[in-house]
Amino acid sequence: MYDYKNLEDFKEKCGYEIDGRWYPRVTKIIDIKSKPALYYFYGEADSYKAAKEITENSAKEGTLIHEIVEKIMVGERPEIPESVAPAIRGFQDFFENRNINVDKEFVEKRIFHLEHRYAGTIDTLALIDGKFGVLDIKTSQSIYRDYNLQTSAYIEALLEELPSLETRWILRIDQVKKCFKCGATMRPKGGRNKIRKGRAMLCKQESHQWSDLTGVTEIQEFPFWKEDFQAFLGAKKLWEWENLSWLKQAGYL
């Protein structure tokens, strides 16, 4: 359990105050779910401090890509730092060739669910190929199933106001180097070079011939969210159990 300094620290880190009422945050709730890949990463790192630094640097890079992409989506022309230029160029090529429409009103929009008492901030709502839904941007190595918990909570919170919502998408944006010899990929993010094997790992690690950084963009649609939302509510119940004393102090329970 996280050691919060006091009630205000807990409330600030775990939720939002909306119209005089405090709500726990969707992303904080789903943190209760086990993350084996993350534990493995921390376990193989040189130290906890080193792993923490990589994680924080990676998060900063992801936030930067996130902010630039959202501005491009609504027609702005932001400055693009060289450190993330390959990822942004890859996204721009993708965006120009897809029928995606985003309204400024829905970018980084704070939402909440009155009945189930949670809140969150959506990346945006979008109209893609004639379908209206939640669009969530990720800068991770893959599209993970955990994201379905988050986006299902967003859809359910919006349905009363926007009954025309019909689907959700995960848009992943990344940048990697590729080995010309064996097809392996190397992802230099947060100060860590993560290598994924290519064709039977034909190259020894020191003999890879890497390309320049190249942008990677992929989008997946997940139209069925009801079961995911039930799983989210289960995670919420466990999170409430874990934080019972703080939630009682906050007047939430």
HEC letters along the chain: CCCCCCHHHHHHHHEEEECCEEEEEHHHHHHHCCCHHHHHHHHHCCCHHHHHHHHHHHHHHHHHHHHHHHHHHCCCCCCCCHHHHHHHHHHHHHHHCCCEEECHHHCCEEEEECCCCEEEEECEEEEECCEEEEEEEECCCCCCCCHHHHHHHHHHHHCCCCCCCCEEEEEEEEEEEEECCCCCEEEEECCEEEEECCCCCCCCHHHCCECCCEEEEEEEECCCCHHHHHHHHHHHHHHHHHCHHHHHHCCCC
CA 4/CA 214 separation, integer angstroms: 41
CATH match of 7-249 with 3.90.1310: no
pLDDT digits (tens, 9 = 90+) for 33-76: 988 777 777 787 788 888 888 888 899 999 999 999 999 999 99
pTM for this structure?
A: 0.91
| Other beta carbons within 10 Å of 77 | 7
Average pLDDT of the chain, as a whole number: 92
CA 165/CA 222 separation, integer angstroms: 13
Looking at residue 201, what is its pLDDT?
61
Looking at residue 12, what is its pLDDT?
96
* b (16+ CB within 10 A) / e for 190-205: bebeebeebeeeebee
| Other beta carbons within 10 Å of 226 | 9
Domain ranges of the chain: 7-249
CA 2/CA 252 separation, integer angstroms: 18
- Identify which has the larger pLDDT, 36 or 123: 123
Looking at residue 188, what is its pLDDT?
87
